[in-house]
Chain A
Amino acid sequence: MAPTTIHKVLVANRGEIARRVFHSCRERGIDTVAVYSTPDAGAPFVAEADTAVHLPGSSAAQTYLRGDLIIAAALRAGADAIHPGYGFLSENGGFARAVEEAGLLWIGPSPEAMDAMGSKIESKSLVAAGGVPVLTKLDPATVREAQLPVLIKASAGGGGRGMRIVRAVADLPAELATARAEAASAFGDDTVFCEPYLEAGHHVEVQLMADTYGTVWAVGERECSIQRRHQKVVEEAPSPLVERTPGMREKLFAAAVAAAKAVNYVGAGTVEFLADESGRFYFLEMNTRLQVEHPVTECTTGLDLVALQLDVAAGAALADCVPGGAERDGLAPAPHGAAIEVRLYAEDPAAEWAPQTGMVRAFDFDGLAAAFALPVRERGLRLDSAVEAGSAVSIHYDPMLAKVIAWAPTRTEAARLLSRALVRARIHGVRSNRDLLVNILRHSAFLAGETDTSFLATHGLDTLAAPVAGPQEERLAALAAALAGAALRRQQAAVLGGLPGGWRNLRSLPQRATLAGPAGDHEISYALTRAGLQAEGFAGVVVVHLDPAVVSLDVDGLVRTWTVAHHDTATGTVLEVDSDGGAVTFAEVVRFPDPSLAVPDGSLTAPMPGAVVVVHVAAGDLVTAGQPLLVLEAMKMLHTISASADGTVVELLVAVGATVNVGTVLAVVEDTNE
């Protein structure tokens, strides 16, 4: 391919990956174009682009999946190349072809290679022919008891959709039907297949980089075994399994390079393998794009994979892209140290991973060494974030807030750096899986490198999804929040602000704050007297420093500090308390609720914003406890609202199609037992 020059790149994506690509473009002096949906209008990636083009609509189907609109946007904006990021159209050979047909440069492999690897069934036969080990494909119709468990997979897609584990032959037909339906709705193709399922496997993948001159670098491997709902949560390089298995890396790299060569692969790609504890591995699939978890490889190799994609797409030889590349004899620079990435999602792991929405009010990590960029120090933290303070997390897209990456000379140190940064990060406004990530990073099994795909199931969400701040810590955080609230009220006082807070010449009652936290309501009674803090249940706690944002307390001789942010929301004041003991979010219980806003007893309210899709009952119906009354669709999931007691539906306030907010009263059931 003749070398060409790229001046302006359109990124057909959103969020942190758009920002990541923009970063490397800027570094290379390349102008950037964003496309954005209506809900993303205020997102950081839009502001960062030199030019932004609006794709009207909210859903992905209306916007980021509209290849025609994206190509038109690129032409209008004067872009000469399109980078697809990952997800959306990144593995769509048709789109790649259309891009090229429009006279634009496609930053990625050839459409033919994409097509070959796009089908899981075809790709397996292809690489198996090249000697790469694969899991025997099973015909769903012939699966026998001895072959269980099996995994049903959609041929056309990933991301866990269309994937089912079957442990009993009897379940197979129903699971197949569900998987086909999911695959059809997610990828427009209901082809599924079965393969043997490794209960406790390791997900190991190899990052490849290939140029148009036949050079294929196996840049390094990653292990991404810790997954929820078949989506990766923690990713790292190098793989602990590969590290402890002699000779595995060489075999793995050889297999990955062979797979790439089988399709004349060009650009960045990843070959995914499933490995057992002994180090035997099987080809799963090849992703013909950059991966979400590419930063761990960047942090251990020092290579800018996005920049390499740009260079290779422009016709450069890999050996010319890195200093001293020519002397490497076709090998990638050797990795060093360890890097771990966690995916910070707006979701509640303890509530079946329910995605969370809201306004991000603070998103701060201390001591960042890089954002979207490569390490320049021996150890540090990198943040690739989709959001910043002020960003809205909507129901429309993947709820990933950011990727946080730590690298260090050793894996232990990287884990320590990362967990400390996560614990102390100020993430306000939306609930996240932060505590789960911290619990994983601190878990002795994780630190020992025992990270198979059943990690979450083995160690249990009861432990792993538990708040980092236990009940005692939460209570201290509540005290800190109450005191900071008092200090804020003093600071904002219209009169007498300079006088001691809550001063009384004859004290009859303490000041009170009621804070609703994860463990329940905390009634904090306190008085700041001449003799110091007097707080019920906190004997011996001494205030060392107090202002609205920072509270230092001496608790049994240990002086600790909490930072407190006060946010006024539509439903009242929210206090976000951060400390080394874990973050806690409190809602201040309103002292004077307006009686006109009180919901009647027996009210059933919407647990999250969404739309009413089914109504099973009518006003006047007699219902029994647990009986489904209506169904709400929220965040692409269906939530059934059931009667909490036997009774009569006295009011039905919504109809099918109604859009509701959190707390909207849907129906009122009068308890007949009362």
Chain B
Amino acid sequence: MSVLHSMIDPLSPEFTSNAVAMAQKLAGLDGDYAKVLESGGEKAVARHRKRGKMLARERVEMLLDRDAPFLELSPLAAWGTAFHVGASVVTGIGVVEGVECMIVAHEPTVKGGTSNPYTTKKIFRALDIARENRLPVISLVESGGADLPTQSEIFIPGGKLFRDLTRLSAAGIPTIALVFGNSTAGRAYVPGMSDHVVMIKERSKVFLAGPPLVKMATGEISDDESLGGADMHARISGLAGYYAVDEMDALRIGRRIVARLNWVKTGAAPAPAQEPLLAEEDLMGVVPGDLKVPFDPREVIARVVDGSDFDEFKALYGTSLVTGWARIHGYPVGILANARGVLFSAESQKAAQFIQLANSANTPLLFLHNTTGYMVGKEYEQAGIIKHGSMMINAVSNSTVPHLSVLMGASFGASHYGMCGRAFDPRFLFAWPSARSSVMGAAQLAGVMSIVGRAAAAAAGREFDEAADATMRAAIEGQIEAESLPTFLSGKLYDDGIIDPRDTRTVLGLALSAIATTPIKGAEGFGVFRM
């Protein structure tokens, strides 16, 4: 046992003001979440209910095992765009009959459940997670197909959906489609490509072309039921494997299908877990309101890992990056956490070696981001900061143990990459409301732009317009700041969701359990890097 001790005083003014700032940031998300939960708005919801139908989230809640946790993914997809925040689909990892599954549920009250570019991106992300972690996929389908005005952005890439579904099936990852309503045209291939298909009496409608289009194409007069009703597909076409009498029956059958998958997790079972010795609640006050003020990530680790028990690796070397071993909900992890923002050569080499050790121990890695970049300046360039940064980025790129990233504060510049940013395919990436991610800090970026402008003016012999520069700096700073915010990044699907810092342990536990569906195999051939 190497128990971490806290230096934090929850009664100090710093802590209090940090906690207030974090609470404000969390509260700032409430409005966005409320919009997500509104679905298609009061009228559309009322109309939907009048037909005796459940909303997407109601279907999900009924499908899930009672009292089991559910991690909704990308809830703020399409934030800040013209599309409904949430991207008219619910995705997440939930437990059905004791099996962790990826749930994809269309929200039929938002534009008939049609898919816009963010919908497809969100579904693709969900299917990626399902494939990497071998999670059975349950699609709760009720979608009018593509949001036609946006077809140019989804028609061509959208085929990936069907390709992915059938590849999941080929990889032995079960796919289940419960068809609650329309699943027509392109959507008809979702049941078509799923292992198990449940259709609902007088509700499911699965055809390539509806009566109007059929009439246009061939002159044939037809109706919905004969073209694609549940009765027809269950008795005649054979597309439906199961016939449900109503929505609850479809959910019941869906649960029975999962129960009969005989699904066995093949990853290592977790050790008995122990709660951290320090309170999760304190995580509200760890991150300073101003990201320029560094904080000790051990304060976070102590409130996230089992028993606050953390064995640090190279504690005295490259101290701007904390590395070490711990367990979260019984699952072993190696943790890399930024301590003072900047990564120097020593930190980069320490990280590369630590990543290699985790691979030889088949241990997942957790990256806790608060980094402003690799160190710049003559001294550091000459000491080979690029070489050492590359070493770290190489190690993280070719590491094959699962990676988890949590953006706690800053995640700027190339060290976002070194700390396994989105482009480096971490299995999961979550952000705290206090996070910022961009190529560099907004003020620095605006300052750089200003210096470049001033130099250009000087070179051209022009007089530098200070007033215009100030306006430009403010504008750029504002834009970059806004675009580095977690809501913006979440909207673009650059993370898997913003989480309450106090939920970090729970979210990571869920992620690690999903990961443990398959055995972990580290990269071979790294050999020892003694750096």
Residues of A within 8 A of B (CB): 485-486, 489-490, 493-496, 498-506, 508-509, 511, 513, 530, 591-592, 594-595
Contact = CB atoms under 8 A, between A and B. Distances in A.
Contact of A509 (B61, B246, B503, B507): B61
B66 interface: yes
Contacts, number: 91
Contact of A506 (B68, B72, B329): B72
Nearest to B330: A498
B66 A496 contact: no
B69 A530 contact: no
Per DSSP, chain A at the interface is: loop
Contacts of A500: 69, 506
Given A503-B506, A508-B57, A511-B66, A496 B255 contact: no
Contacts of A485: 66
B64 to A, nearest CB: 9
- The bracket for how many chain B residues form the interface is 35 or more
Contacts of A509: 57-58, 61
A506 B33 contact: yes
B69 A506 contact: no
Interface in B23-75: 33, 36-37, 57-58, 61-62, 65-72, 75
Contacts of B100: 495-496
B238 to A, nearest CB: 22
Contacts of A594: 252
30 contacts: A485-B66, A489-B66, A494-B99, A495-B99, A495-B265, A496-B68, A496-B509, A496-B510, A498-B329, A498-B330, A498-B509, A499-B69, A499-B329, A502-B68, A502-B69, A503-B503, A504-B69, A505-B500, A505-B507, A506-B33, A506-B37, A508-B61, A509-B61, A511-B66, A591-B66, A592-B251, A592-B252, A592-B255, A594-B252, A595-B249
A166 B332 CA distance: 83
B502 A530 contact: yes
A494 to B, nearest CB: 3
A592 B270 CA distance: 32
B405 interface: no
Nearest to B270: A498
Nearest to A483: B67
A632 to B, nearest CB: 31
Contact of B70 (A490, A493, A503, A591): A503
Contact of A508 (B37, B98, B248, B507): B37
Contacts of A501: 67-69
Given A501-B68, A592-B248, 7 more contacts: A489-B68, A496-B95, A499-B329, A502-B69, A508-B57, A513-B66, A592-B249
A326 B69 CA distance: 77
Contacts of A503: 69-70, 503, 506
A505 B497 contact: yes
B104 to A, nearest CB: 16
Contact of B98 (A493, A511, A530): A493
A445 to B, nearest CB: 47
B57 A489 contact: no
A657 to B, nearest CB: 35
B98 A495 contact: yes
Contacts of B252: 592, 594
B499 A499 contact: no
A506 B497 CA distance: 10
Nearest to B273: A498
B67 A486 contact: yes
A153 to B, nearest CB: 58
B513 interface: yes
Contacts of B245: 595
Max count, chain A CB within 10 A of own CB: residue among B37, B70, B75, B510? B70
Nearest to A494: B98
A210 B61 CA distance: 73
Given A493-B65, A498-B329, A592-B255, A505 B57 contact: no
A501 B67 CA distance: 5
B249 A506 contact: no
A497 to B, nearest CB: 9
A588 to B, nearest CB: 10
Interface string B215-241: 000000000000000000000000000
A493 B503 contact: no
A505 B71 contact: yes
A503 B66 CA distance: 11
B72 A499 contact: no
Contacts of A494: 95, 98-99
A494 B249 CA distance: 24
Interface in B122-177: none
B36 A506 contact: yes
Contacts of B68: 489, 493, 496, 501-502
Interface in B364-378: none
A46 B107 CA distance: 63
A601 to B, nearest CB: 15
B516 to A, nearest CB: 9
Contacts of A489: 65-68
B67 A511 contact: yes
A508 to B, nearest CB: 4
Contacts of B249: 592, 595
A591 B248 CA distance: 8
Nearest to B265: A495
B37 A496 contact: no
Given A500-B506, A501-B67, A511-B66, A493 B95 contact: yes
A591 B249 CA distance: 10
A504 B329 contact: no
Nearest to B29: A506
Interface string B284-296: 0000000000000
Max count, chain A CB within 10 A of own CB: residue among B67, B68, B246, B329? B67
A499 B68 CA distance: 8
Nearest to A498: B273
A-B pairs, 9 with minimum CB distance? A494-B98, A592-B252, A503-B69, A508-B57, A486-B67, A501-B67, A489-B67, A498-B273, A499-B69
Contact of A505 (B58, B66, B75, B95): B75
